[in-house]
A = this chain, B = another copy of it.
Amino acid sequence: MSKVNVAVLGATGMIGQRFIQMLEDHPFFELTGLYASKKSEGKKLKEVLKLRDHNLKDETLKRKIETMEVEEVGRKVRAVFSGLPSDIAGPTETDFAEMGVAVFSNAGAHRMDPDVPILIPEVNPEHLEAVREQPYYGETGGFIVTNANCSTTGIAVPLKAIDAAYGVKEIFVSTYQALSGAGYPGVASLDAACNVIPFIKGEEEKIETELCKMLGTYDGSSFRFSDMKVMANCARVPVIDGHTESLVLKLRDEPSLNELEETLGNFRGEPQDLKLPSAPKSPIIVRKEADRPQPAMDIYAGKPARARGMAVSVGRLRHSNGYYKAFVLSHNTVRGGAGGSVLNAELAYAKGLL
C-alpha cells in the first residue's frame, strides 16, 4: 500500500515540530513538506528547533521550511497536520478542506463546528463518521478533524473507560499544566519561574464543553452532548512538558478501587484493535506507587517506541464521601497535541477515508 502524502503546517511551533517528530519514517504517511510563515522561509529545521526531546535524523534536521501557500500545498498532499496558531487556523483549514485536503488539526477553531468531530480514537471513534456530513467532503473529499484540547485529552481517555463501565455524573478537575502548552515563546520566564499562574485563557471552557461533545453520541447527522457536569480550574505550573490533572468524580455505580483500577488498566479502544502505529498497547497506565504519576517520570509512557508519550498515566485512586479521586498525567504536545492528530489520521487511513 503506498504512503499518503502529507504536510505539516506551522512547522516552527512546538506542535508543528512534534508533528515532524512523529511523522518521521511513518508507515502510512510520507511527509512531503514543512510549512510556516514567511519569516522562517528557507531556514533549516535545525535552525528553528524548539524540542528538548528529540532524536531526529540529520536529514530531517536539514529539511527546509517553506512558505505556506494554500493553493500550492493543497495540490501536493492528501492531508495536512495543522499546528497553526488559532487566529489563522480557522479560515486556512477551511481553505484546505475546500481544496480536497484532509485536515487533522490541533487548533481549536473548528472544534465546536456542528459537523466537525473532536476525535480521540480510544474515546469516540464513531464520531469520525461526521466528516461525511461536511460540505466539502462530497465535493472534493476534503474534511476537517480536530483533536481535543491538551488538558481535555488527558482526562478524556480514562473518563471514557470509567463512563462506559460505571457512568460518570460529575467531574471536578484541576489542572497543573506545562509551559509547552502555551507554545513558543509562550509564557515569560519571569512569570513562570517558581510560580503558579491560575489562569489559562479559554481553557476551562474548552474542558467543560469538549468533554461533553466527545463523551456524547453521534447519531449519523448530529452530535448529542453528554449531560455530565464538568467543573474545571486551570493553572500553569513551571513544568516543561506534561499536564497533571486532579480529578474528583461522582459515578452512577460504586465500584471498588480494585475494580476501577482493573477497568482502567484493561481498557482498550479501536486504535488498539486496529493496531494503529501510534496507538499505545495500553492506552492507560495505572501507577500504584504512592507518588506517581509525575511529569518527571511518566510523560513518555506508551509502548512501542512509536507510541512513546501516547499513553495516559493514572494514579492515586481513592474513594471517600461517595466520590472517587485520582491524578492523571499525559504528554500535552504528544498525546494531547501532535500525537493525537497523527492517531486521528491513522484511524482515518484505516477506515479508508484517506
What is the interface of chain A, defined by CB distance below 8 A to chain B? 14, 47, 49-50, 52, 55, 172, 174, 176, 179-180, 184-199, 204, 208, 229-231, 233, 235, 237-240, 242, 244, 246-248, 289-297, 300, 315-316, 318, 320-321, 323, 325, 327
Contacts and interface: CB of A to CB of B under 8 A. Distances in A.
B231 A325 contact: yes
B184 A185 contact: no
A343 B328 CA distance: 38
Contact of A189 (B55, B189, B198, B204): B189
B291 A199 contact: yes
A203 B348 CA distance: 46
B199 A296 contact: no
A190 B294 CA distance: 12
Contacts of A321: 229-231
Contact of A195 (B199, B230, B239): B239
Main secondary structure of the interface of A (DSSP, over half): mixed
Contacts of A233: 174, 246-248, 316, 325, 327
Which 3 residue pairs across A and B have the least CB separation, nearest first? A174-B174, A185-B188, A233-B246
A184 B190 contact: yes
Given A193-B192, A194-B194, A325-B233, A199 B248 contact: no
